[in-house]
Amino acid sequence: MVKYLKKIIFGITSLTVGGAERTLIDIIEKIEKEFKITIFTLYGKGELEKDLPKNIEVKSLYKKSYNEFSKLNKIIVSLRLLLFKKQIYNKYIKNNYDTEIAFLEGPITRLFSVKDDIKTKKIAWVHTDISKIFGNSFKSKLKNIINKNVYKNYNKIILVSSESLRKFKEVNPKIDSEKLEVIHNYINKEKVLKKADQEGKISLKKDGVNIVSVGRLVNAKAFDRLINIHERLIKDDVKHYIYVIGGGPLENELKQQIKKQNVEDTFYLLGEKENPYVFMKNADYICLLSYFEGYPMVLEEAKILDKFIITNTTAKEVVQNYKKSIVLENNEEAIYKGLKDIIINREKYEKQENIKEEYNNDKILEKIKAII
CATH number of the domain within which 307 lies: 3.40.50.2000
pLDDT of residue 361: 86
The pLDDT of residue 87 is 95
What is the predicted pLDDT for the residue at 317? 92
Residues 6+ away with beta carbon under 8 Å from 269: 217, 244, 251, 254, 255, 258
Beta bridge mates, 59: 40
pLDDT bucket at 58, cuts 50 / 70 / 90:
very high
40 plus 159 within the same structural domain: yes
Q: What is the mean pLDDT of residues 8-16?
A: 95
Mean pLDDT of 327-349: 94
Is 176 found in the same domain as 139?
Answer: yes
The confidence score (pLDDT) of residue 133 equals 64
Helix (H) or strand (E) holding 209: strand 209-214
- Per the rule left: phi > 0, alpha: psi between -120 and 50, beta: everything else, 135 is left
| Pair (349, 246) in one structural domain | yes
**Confidence class of residue 3 from pLDDT cuts 50, 70 and 90?**
low
Is 314 in contact with 290 (CB distance < 8 Å)?
yes
Query: Domain for residue 343, yes or no?
Result: yes
Residues 6+ apart with CB under 8 A from 314: 163, 290, 291, 292, 293, 330
The reported pLDDT for the residue numbered 238 is 96
Residue 223 sits in the same domain as residue 341: yes
231 vs 150 pLDDT, higher one: 231
In a domain, 167, yes or no: yes
- Residue 90 pLDDT class (50, 70, 90 cuts): very high
- At residue 258, the 3 state secondary structure works out as helix
Q: In this structure, is residue 1 part of a structural domain?
A: no
Is the predicted pLDDT of residue 2 greater than 80, yes or no?
A: no
Segment 52-61 long-range contacts (CB within 8 Å, at least 24 positions apart): 52/15, 52/25, 52/28, 53/28, 53/29, 56/28, 56/32, 58/15, 59/92, 61/88, 61/92
Same domain, 175 and 201: no
- Predicted pLDDT at 339: 97
Contact 171, 144 (CB under 8 A): yes
| Structure confidence at residue 199 (pLDDT) | 76
Statement to judge: residues 69 and 112 lie in one domain = yes
177 and 211 together in one domain: no
Highest mean predicted confidence (pLDDT) among 113-117, 236-240, 363-367: 236-240
Is residue 178 domain-shared with residue 195, that is, in the same domain?
A: no
Q: Is 175 left (phi over 0), alpha (psi -120 to 50) or beta?
A: beta
- The verdict on 56 and 163 lying in the same domain is yes
Phi/psi of residue 53, nearest 5 degrees: -55, 145
- Asked if 149 and 207 sit in the same domain, the reply is no
- Assess whether pLDDT exceeds 70 at residue 1: no
Check whether 173 has a pLDDT greater than 70.
yes
pLDDT for 130 equals: 79
Question: What is the number of helices (H) and of strands (E) in the chain?
Answer: 14, 13
Residue 54 identity (one-letter amino acid): K
| CB neighbour list of residue 201: distance below 8 Å, 6 or more residues apart | none
371 part of a folded domain: no
Whether residues 224 and 158 fall in one domain: no
Q: Under a CB-based contact definition with an 8 Å cutoff, are residues 22 and 103 in contact?
A: no
Q: Are strands 267-271 and 285-288 parallel, antiparallel or unpaired?
A: unpaired
Give per-residue pLDDT as tens, 174-206.
899 999 999 999 999 999 999 999 877 777 898
- Boundary residue ending a domain (182, 214, 235): 182
Percent of the chain whose pLDDT exceeds 90: 69
> Does 370 map to a domain?
no
Of 138, 161, 182, the last residue of a domain is: 182
Same domain (yes/no): 166, 199: no
The residues with which 243 forms a beta bridge, in sequence order, are 212, 268
Total count of domains within the chain: 2
Band of pLDDT at residue 4, cut at 50, 70 and 90: low
So what's the pLDDT on residue 163? 87
Q: Domain for residue 326, yes or no? A: yes
Q: Which of 1-5, 67-71, 86-90, 119-123 has the lowest mean pLDDT?
A: 1-5
Average pLDDT over residues 20-31: 93
Q: Which domain-ending residue is among 156, 182, 208?
A: 182
Considering only the C-alpha atoms of the chain, give the largest distance between any 2 of them, rounded to a whole number of Å: 67
Give the lowest-confidence range in 13-17, 41-45, 85-89, 354-358: 354-358
Q: Position 269: which residue type?
A: L
Residue 149's domain comprises: 7-182
Mean pLDDT rounded to a whole number for the chain: 90
| Arithmetic mean of pLDDT, 244-265 | 96
**Structural domain contains residue 301:** yes
Flag whether 34 is in a domain. yes
Taking 90 as the threshold, does the pLDDT of residue 38 lie above it? yes
Q: What is the mean pLDDT of residues 24-42?
A: 95
Q: How confident is the model at residue 353 (pLDDT cuts 50, 70, 90)?
A: confident
- pLDDT at residue number 254: 98
